[in-house]
Amino acid sequence: AQSVTQLDSQVPVFEEAPVELRCNYSSSVSVYLFWYVQYPNQGLQLLLKYLSGSTLVKGINGFEAEFNKSQTSFHLRKPSVHISDTAEYFCAVSLRSSGDKLTFGTGTRLAVRP
């Protein structure tokens, strides 16, 4: 079975500073990788996804992530964060088979301070 590890439960950062949210996955087969964002009292919104091809994927709101197969990682980065980026960020995986569910990591709370 596949699993996701988000090592940082909270990441405090000052506004306009760069940030990296770490995600490692475990799977015996190829997977799709995702980052979702959840703002307070809201649903889950897709930030970006890796399916195949270029290992660097760009998403919404200036976020990007890099798939590293050898390190089984899919870290999320943003060069300059805003107060409005304060939210919970979830890394997730699904198998490359039709209709497979998403398995989420435990989430990382990004707290941007002025």
The binding site for another protein (CB under 8 A) comprises 32, 34, 36, 42-46, 49, 51, 90, 94, 96-107
* Least distance to another protein, CB of residue 49, Å: 6
Q: How far apart are CA 107 and CA 80, in angstroms?
A: 20
Q: Which is nearer to another protein, 16 or 100 (CB)?
A: 100
Distances from the Cα of 110 to the Cαs of 1, 15, 52, 56, 74, in angstroms?
28, 11, 27, 21, 17
* Least distance to another protein, CB of residue 38, Å: 9
Q: Which is nearer to another protein, 28 or 98 (CB)?
A: 98
* Least distance to another protein, CB of residue 92, Å: 9
Query: Who's near 30: CB < 8 A, 6+ residues apart?
Result: 95, 96
Q: How far apart are CA 5 and CA 106, in angstroms?
A: 7
* Least distance to another protein, CB of residue 102, Å: 5
Q: Which is nearer to another protein, 81 or 89 (CB)?
A: 89
Residue with tokens 């000052």: 14
In eight-state DSSP terms, residue 102 is: P
Q: Which is nearer to another protein, 9 or 70 (CB)?
A: 9
